[in-house]
Amino acid sequence: MAEKPHMNLVFIGHVDHGKSTLVGRMLLETGHIEQHIIDKYREQAEAKGKGSFEFAWVMDALKEERERGLTIDVAHKRFNSDKYYFTIIDAPGHRDFVKNMITGTSQADAAVLVVASPEGVMAQTKEHVFLARTLGVGQLIVAINKMDATKPPFSEERYNEVKEETTNLLKTVGYKMDNVQCLPVSAFKGDNTVKASENMGWYKGITMLQALDNLTLPEKPSGKPLRLPVQDVYTSTGVGTVPVGRVETGVLKPDTKIMFMPSNKVGEVKTIEMHHEQITQAEPGDNVGFNVRGVSRNDIRRGDVAGPVDDPPTVVKSFTAQIMVLNHPSVITAGYTPVFHCHTAQVACTVEAIQKKLDPKTGDVKEENPDFIKTGDAAVIKVRPTRPMVIERAKDFPQLGRFAIRDMGQTVAAGMCIDVEQK
Amino acid sequence: MGEVAITYRILPETTDIDLKELGDRVRDVSEGIGKIQGMQEKPIAFGLTALLIRVIIEDKEGGPDEIESALSGISGVQSVEVMDMTRLL
């Protein structure tokens, strides 16, 4: 039987809002927790004279299991819906992991934002919503969780309040509500995850599982022009220059000319290898090495991006970006020159101007040309790299348009490129 | 608080570097920072082989910085790349 289409699903939201519980619940209800784990908890339950289902025990069992169960090749929890199979990334809560989310994880096709209904939107919710946007995740399911813990339980009024609060936040960062599905759940009790809840007669919408089935597969980035950020460059005896990297968009093929920017070198791809085996083309997500004629090891370096000669990667004189300040000890003003981590490049860039400060409640411009921005602020800034750098508009190439801003050994901000001024 | 599993791909400076010894050095420097839960050699291309490692660290301030700078400082390491990251259930 042909395998179902695959989707990368990232779970975001405050760590105490029940993300793990929702993941655990979906795994259990879709039959993806190993039977021996379920049997084990049943035995324990019976031994203690409790025949009833105790979901918390399953979560504990999963925790124990992971100590033994993890291998490098099967890193992810996965489950199937009717239409898709999903692999899950659960986003870390602390903002110090943002750089890794931006430069390291594979492209997420959709996100599940978990917001606990008793608490509502919190600072980490805001950070993660911004992060999802920066990662170029267009489709979002908002699971308003812990509905069993509202006062009174399963309160429609509370659901609507949190839904409105979350919707406003999403609009702020530019989400279109057509691509967002809000629904009430209790991951702990199971309400509305795979079966409609008997406790929420007022809710006439779809379940979590149906919402997952309603997602659409994003267009494959193989149709776009080639973009391959260079991770490292080797020389191999008898082979020549071998750049190594991951294809982000487009297709890399032998016997084609490619251009490395900003080094501005053209070479011809001869052979491509993946896992030491020759392949006829490399597609998005493939980690490859390839030998390239006409380019020496010293001509190109990490941070260069390979692309077609007739549609080369964009080298910018300056660019406009939307950023969120995650953690800065004081304030950011024009002239600030931290290091931008974008694809494999690390380039010091000067904040030339802070053009707009955005109101996190409405998404409107709060202040034109503010003197400074600080932790928690979202803003539009103009940036000038101190040396040549490739960055693309995030809407054209999300993987090459997002960045983390680092200073003093910390991630101070994250953002995405919204416009470029070419060099 | 929770824990995060990060998979790193470590590329050696040259194809001549002994990955077994490199792996030992990786274990040494990781001691006390995170828990290494898996390590394997991953062929890349043209004789170049990377070391894939999976490290478990806590989801807290400082995040992956400490382990990344430790790994990057190992002799024989060319680069350290995040391949994958997720919180653990």
State how many domains chain A has: 3
Residue A214: its pLDDT value, please? 97
Residue A349: partners with Cβ closer than 8 Å, 6 or more residues away: A337, A338, A339, A340, A383, A384, A385, A386, A389
Residue A384 sits at the vertex; the CA angle it makes with B66 and A106, to the nearest 5 degrees, is: 45
User: Which of chain B's residues have a Cβ under 8 Å away from the Cβ of A291?
Assistant: 46
Domain containing residue A270: 221-308
User: Quick one: A263 and A287 in the same domain?
Assistant: yes
Please, what sign has the CA dihedral across residues A406, A105, A266, A221? negative
Asked if the structure places residue A51 within a domain, the reply is: yes
Q: Would you call A409 and B78 a contact, using CB atoms and an 8 Å cutoff?
A: no
Asked if the structure places residue A186 within a domain, the reply is: yes
Q: Rounded to whole angstroms, how far apart are CA atoms A248 and A397?
A: 9
Residue A254: partners with Cβ closer than 8 Å, 6 or more residues away: A269, A270, A271, A272, A280, A281, A290
User: Hey, is the C-beta of A71 within 8 angstroms of any chain B C-beta?
Assistant: yes
Please state the rounded mean pLDDT for residues B20-41. 93
**Burial (Cβ within 10 Å: 0-12, 13-18, ≥19) of residue A350:** middle
User: Quick one: A234 and A200 in the same domain?
Assistant: no
User: Quick one: A276 and A127 in the same domain?
Assistant: no
Asked if the structure places residue A361 within a domain, the reply is: yes
Among B4, B37, B51, B89, pick the best mutation site for testing chain A contact (most A Cβ within 10 A): B89
Query: Pairing state of beta strands A85-90 and A6-13?
Result: parallel
User: Quick one: A304 and A325 in the same domain?
Assistant: no
- For residue B49, give the nearest of B72, B76, B70 by alpha carbon: B76
User: Quick one: A303 and A350 in the same domain?
Assistant: no
CATH of the domain at A278: 2.40.30.10
Q: Which two tokens stand for residue A307?
A: 């692309």
Asked if the structure places residue A418 within a domain, the reply is: yes
Mean pLDDT by 10 residues, chain A (423 residues): 85 93 90 77 71 67 65 70 93 90 86 97 92 91 97 97 95 89 95 95 97 93 96 90 96 98 98 95 94 96 98 98 93 98 97 90 82 94 98 94 93 95 91
User: Which of chain B's residues have a Cβ under 8 Å away from the Cβ of A232?
Assistant: 11, 78-79
How many angstroms separate the CA of residue B7 from the nearest CA in chain A?
Answer: 7
Please state the rounded mean pLDDT for residues B44-56. 93
Domain containing residue B53: 3-87
State how many domains chain B has: 1
Q: Which two tokens stand for residue B39?
A: 């390590």
Residue A297: its pLDDT value, please? 94
Q: Would you call B45 and A20 a contact, using CB atoms and an 8 Å cutoff?
A: no
User: Quick one: A189 and A265 in the same domain?
Assistant: no
Q: Rounded to whole angstroms, how far apart are CA atoms B47 and A173?
A: 45
User: Quick one: A173 and A31 in the same domain?
Assistant: yes
pLDDT at B57 over 80: yes
Q: Return the SS3 of A66.
A: helix
Each residue's pLDDT tens digit, A333-392 = 999 999 999 999 999 999 999 999 987 666 678 899 999 999 989 999 999 999 999 999
Q: Would you call A242 and B88 a contact, using CB atoms and an 8 Å cutoff?
A: no
Asked if the structure places residue A208 within a domain, the reply is: yes
Query: Pairing state of beta strands A228-236 and A277-279?
Result: unpaired
Q: Choose among B45, B61, B85: nearest Cβ to A100.
A: B85
User: Quick one: A107 and A151 in the same domain?
Assistant: yes
Residue A404: its pLDDT value, please? 95
Contact between A230 and A344 under an 8 Å Cβ cutoff? The reply is yes
How many angstroms separate the CA of residue B45 from the nearest CA in chain A?
Answer: 4
The widest CA-to-CA distance across chain A, in whole angstroms, is 75
Asked if the structure places residue A244 within a domain, the reply is: yes
Q: Which residues 12-41 on chain B approach chain A with CB closer than 8 angstroms?
A: 14-15, 37-40
| Boundary residue ending a domain (A274, A308, A342) | A308
Q: Which two tokens stand for residue A280?
A: 């006829």
Residue B51: pLDDT band (50, 70, 90) is: very high
User: Quick one: A188 and A66 in the same domain?
Assistant: yes
Asked if the structure places residue A366 within a domain, the reply is: yes
Query: Pairing state of beta strands A345-358 and A287-293?
Result: unpaired
| Boundary residue ending a domain (A181, A213, A245) | A213
User: Quick one: A289 and A338 in the same domain?
Assistant: no
User: Hey, is the C-beta of A103 within 8 angstroms of any chain B C-beta?
Assistant: yes
| Boundary residue ending a domain (A291, A308, A325) | A308
Residue in chain A closest to B35 (alpha carbons) equals A67
**Burial (Cβ within 10 Å: 0-12, 13-18, ≥19) of residue A259:** buried
User: Quick one: A204 and A238 in the same domain?
Assistant: no
Q: Which residues 209-238 on chain A approach chain B with CB closer than 8 angstroms?
A: 231-232, 234, 236
Three-state secondary structure readout of chain B? CCEEEEEEEEEECCCCCCHHHHHHHHHHHHCCCCEEEEEEEEEEECCEEEEEEEEEEECCCCCCHHHHHHHHCCCCEEEEEEEEEEECC
CA distances from residue A73 to A70, A97, A105, A241, B84 in whole angstroms, order as listed:
9, 22, 15, 29, 11
Residue in chain B closest to A343 (alpha carbons) equals B81
Q: Rounded to whole angstroms, how far apart are CA atoms A201 and A95?
A: 38
Q: Rounded to whole angstroms, how far apart are CA atoms B49 and B37?
A: 20
Residues in a beta bridge with A90: A11
How many other CB atoms are found less than 10 A from the CB of residue A176?
A: 11
Asked if the structure places residue A1 within a domain, the reply is: no
CATH of the domain at B78: 3.30.70.60
Q: Which residue has the higher pLDDT, B50 or A55?
A: B50
User: Which of chain A's residues have a Cβ under 8 Å away from the Cβ of B71?
Assistant: none
User: Quick one: A199 and A276 in the same domain?
Assistant: no
For the complex shown, is ipTM > 0.90?
A: yes
